[in-house]
Amino acid sequence: MSRNLRWCLSVSLLVAVCGGAARLMAQPAGSPPEQPAPWALALLPDTQFYSQRWPQHFDAECGWLAKHAKDLSLKYVIGLGDITNNNVPEQWVAAQHALGLLDGAVPLALVPGNHDYVGNGGCLRRESLLDQYFSVDKFKASPTFGGLYDQASLLNSYHLFHANRQDWLILCLEFGPRDEVVAWANSVLDKYPQRNAVLVTHAYLTNEGRRLGDKEKKVGHDPHSYPISSQAGGVNDGEELWQKVIRQHANVVFVFCGHVSGKSRLTSRDDAGNDVHQMLVDYQSDTEGGQGFIRLLSFAADGKSVDATSYSASLDRHRRDDANQFTLDLTKTFARPR
């Protein structure tokens, strides 16, 4: 073999070896598969009387959630509306302080209730001080923030997060959503059909466990009984949201609401045959507006169930009755283990 031929073969071998090594180095080593792990959501029922008269309960529940967020593997805190009682600055300041305790500990999702608009609960117009006290830009900066109906307002928003090998969506809708907001909600759910979805709106269930607007319009509770129902875009109550949005999307797993004092839940089958768990929790009529009771939802590591509990940091006490402590089956929902 000539010296030139040996040199060419040596160069070719060197190039092949080095190229292969480079390709191996360029390939990511890969991370180990995500291990099953429990996680949690927290619901803040109507805080209106805390903002007005008993801010210590508001501070206690948010402070406790921030302190224990890591221990609980808490992915989100979700407010159920009626953040304030009269939509006045001093009450928004109290809410801003309490909810601010969650900063840096756990993401927050909010919906407005009828008491967060003009009219002392009467919801005369769709005007709220919410955006003056909770910065849109601050929410947009969160890595889990998804988007807004109105880029200048938090009245309708959605959020994206990951928990226990699954991707989730929280869709937050205004009190008695307008028709155009309903259309937007459908577009968001269409955009993320593979994410487990949680829909949150203030007025949805009665304390008897049926949807508002199902069979009758209950004056004082159903959004159709408020002045905004005759304004541009109208309103949609619980039954209308079920028919126009929820039942049509196979990935909706939960609906959470407040508004009507009491606790109730309803499981319905959507058009795809999946269970949808709907839940009302509202302690506003209890002593001191609820004494800081929150609803905790603890998801099992195997993904088959979620345990609901009710706890007050103010009292360091759980409520153990069936309305406040129960287990929901996830195996027939879109979120079932796969």
SS3 state at 312: strand
Rounded distance, CA 311 to CA 198, Å?
A: 22
Closest C-alpha among 272, 315, 276 to residue 293: 315
* Domains of the chain from N-terminus onward: 35-329 (3.60.21.10)
DSSP string for residues in 91-128? HHHHHHHHHHTTTTTS-EE----GGGSBTTTS--BS--
How far is residue 305 CA from its own chain's centroid? 18
Alpha helices, DSSP H only, in the chain?
3-26, 48-52, 55-72, 89-100, 130-133, 136-140, 179-191, 238-244
Per-residue pLDDT tens listing for the chain (338 residues): 444 434 333 433 333 333 333 333 333 456 788 999 999 999 999 999 999 999 999 999 999 999 999 999 999 999 999 999 999 999 999 999 999 999 999 999 999 999 999 999 999 999 999 999 999 999 999 999 999 999 999 999 999 999 999 999 999 999 999 999 999 999 999 999 999 999 999 999 999 999 999 876 666 699 999 999 999 999 999 999 999 999 999 999 999 999 999 999 999 999 999 999 999 999 999 999 999 999 999 999 999 999 999 999 999 999 999 999 999 999 999 999 98
Rounded distance, CA 253 to CA 246, Å?
A: 9
pLDDT tens digits for range 170-216: 999 999 999 999 999 999 999 999 999 999 999 999 999 999 998 76
